[in-house]
Amino acid sequence: MTSTTSFDVLTLTDEARNVVLDALAGEEGHGALALWVEVTGTMGLGYSYDLYFADLSDAPEGAAVGNDGDVTIVIPRASVERLRGSRLEFASDGGGGLVLVNPNHPSAEELNPGVPAEILAMGIDGELARRAVQVLENDVNPSIASHGGRADLVAMDEAQRIAYIKMSGGCQGCSMSRLTLSQGIETALRGAIPELDDVRDVTDHASGINPFYSETH
């Protein structure tokens, strides 16, 4: 069962509400549609999002449903607490677009879903971790910086000798990222740290940038 609230989860500025209403008016059957907003993953140190119009009647069990002026908003259950207190604004600079201002930040586990929590808790202060960070900073990142890419060690299993790498910038979502990892990053790490058994990419490559809006904190 969905819930109708005064909507403290997400609010819209007047400019953003007008943009949404104008876009909604151009949709077929717009009277039955709502603005759906959900967290789809992480991007950098924040969340990534999807904003779209869909039938209000399709709102799933546990979704938060509310109104901001004439805009009906649906937020699926998994995104409610991640978006609570957010505000959708319209930025006129840079060509204009919707900007989602979110006071909430992903946890370490959300930012690195492919890393066991107990390994994350160990930090990157061990001997192998320090050596891996040095290789990334001195050898890897200067070579991939030309296309805005970066690779960071987010965790190291010192016992199993497994390095967990996360890419960002131009490497996140790039179709060549797997090649970058296997022929570039992994080769560099294994060459400098021969006792390393595995290098795992835990980047959320599926997250992208919606041209309709951007995100800030």
Indicate the pairing of strand 33-43 with strand 71-75: parallel
DSSP code string of 155-196: EEETTTTEEEEEEEETTTT-TTHHHIIIIIIHHHHHHH-TT-
* pLDDT for res 211: 37
Distance of alpha carbon 125 from alpha carbon 45, whole angstroms: 21
Question: What are 186-216's pLDDT values in tens digits?
Answer: 889 999 999 999 999 887 666 544 434 444 5
Q: pLDDT tens across 139-176, in order?
A: 888 887 777 778 889 999 999 999 999 887 654 444 44
Task: Tell me the per-residue pLDDT of 52-105, one tens digit each, with 9 for 90 and over.
Answer: 999 999 999 999 999 999 999 999 999 999 999 999 999 877 667 899 999 999
Domain ranges in the chain with CATH number 3.30.300.130: 117-201
| First CA to last CA distance, the chain | 31
Does 137 score more than 70 pLDDT?
Answer: yes
- Nearest CA-CA partner of 15 in 103, 84, 129, 97: 97
Residue 9 and residue 80 in contact, taking contact as beta carbons nearer than 8 Å: yes
What is 117-201's CATH number? 3.30.300.130
pLDDT on residue 210: 42
Q: What's the mean pLDDT in 112-124?
A: 87
- Say which CATH architecture domain 3-104+209-216 belongs to: Sandwich (2.60)
CATH 2.60.300.12 in the chain, residue ranges? 3-104+209-216
**Residue of 37, 24, 100, 101 lying closest to 64 (CA atoms):** 37
pTM of this structure: 0.66
Asked if residue 42 has pLDDT above 70, the reply is yes
The reported pLDDT for the residue numbered 170 is: 52
Q: Has residue 217 got a pLDDT over 60?
A: no
Average pLDDT taken over every residue of the chain: 84
